[in-house]
Amino acid sequence: MVKVFFMTTNDQNNWLIYILECCDGSLYCGITNNLERRLKQHLGELKGGAKYTLSRRPCHLVYQEKSSSRKEALIRELEVKKMSKSQKRKLIES
């Protein structure tokens, strides 16, 4: 079982990289400074979710990582997106 600590923030300087597991077993990576709002968007409760997760609902949060700035979060998101699925699974389990 993966332990995920749910963190919400509205602070423009507190960015998170997050990974969702979709109902088909695929993984979606993104960044946000308001995780609660972003998850609601992905689940269709609020307008603005990603096209990728739209047809793969429900999705659930399996990983989150703090970042000190939007720029740093974007760089880390790209690193994570370049990982293989098995590498992402190892990251999630760590």
End-to-end CA distance of the chain: 11
Q: What is the pLDDT of residues 42-51, one digit of tens each?
A: 998 999 888 8
Say which CATH number the domain at 34 has.
3.40.1440.10
What is the arithmetic mean of pLDDT over 66-77?
96
Q: Give the per-residue pLDDT at 85.
A: 95
Residue 44 in any domain: the answer is yes
| 82, 84, 85, 91 alpha-carbon torsion, rounded to 10° | -80
Residue 83 in any domain: the answer is yes
Residue 51 in any domain: the answer is yes
Which residues span the domain enclosing 74? 15-93
What is the arithmetic mean of pLDDT over 20-24?
96
Residue 8 in any domain: the answer is no
Q: Give the per-residue pLDDT at 11.
A: 52
Query: Which has more pLDDT, 68 or 2?
Result: 68
Please give the share of the chain, as a percent, with pLDDT higher than 70: 87
Residue 6 in any domain: the answer is no
How many domains does the chain fold into? 1
Kindly tell me if the per-residue pLDDT of 7 is higher than 70: no
